A = this chain, B = another copy of it.
Amino acid sequence: MKVYRYWMDTGVDLRVRGGADAYLRGCPSRDVLDMIGSKWTVLIVPALREGPLRFGELRRRLDGITQKSLTQTLRTLERDGLITRTQYPTIPPRVEYALTDLGLRAVALLAGVRDWAEANLADVLAARAAHDARADS
């Protein structure tokens, strides 16, 4: 793990670690970015913060999501150890999803992203507007 210590905060030549492809594919940044970059992850994980939810409850909360996308995202989150899936053998079936400790820590990460957005998004949007106003392209 330590070999990646400076994977995104330094200017040193990254190629010294064995080639760009190896760097890019091996670097943990991809993993974590793919996780939080997933369209629904950022909504599902915080939604479970207050306690477990059933499949249908999640679907209603994320009103625009399709069954497939919800199932898919939940499976990935379960595989990555962020949530647990508990199935009760009743009829009709009842399935509950809950955050793990790791999932709870992910909420904290997302909170960091949220805080950055709240603090800086106005600047981003202003810069974008100013740039677009200079529509000399």
Contacts and interface: CB of A to CB of B under 8 A. Distances in A.
Nearest to A20: B63
Interface residues of A, number: 69
Contacts of A107: 9
Given A13-B61, A81-B127, A102-B124, 11 more contacts: A4-B118, A7-B114, A11-B48, A11-B50, A23-B63, A29-B117, A32-B117, A35-B124, A79-B128, A81-B130, A102-B123
20 contacts: A9-B111, A11-B49, A14-B62, A14-B63, A23-B63, A28-B117, A32-B121, A32-B124, A36-B113, A79-B132, A80-B124, A80-B127, A80-B128, A81-B126, A102-B124, A105-B120, A106-B116, A106-B120, A109-B113, A113-B113
Interface of A: 1, 4-5, 7-11, 13-15, 19-21, 23-24, 28-29, 31-33, 35-37, 42-43, 46-51, 53, 61-64, 78-82, 102, 105-114, 116-128, 130-132
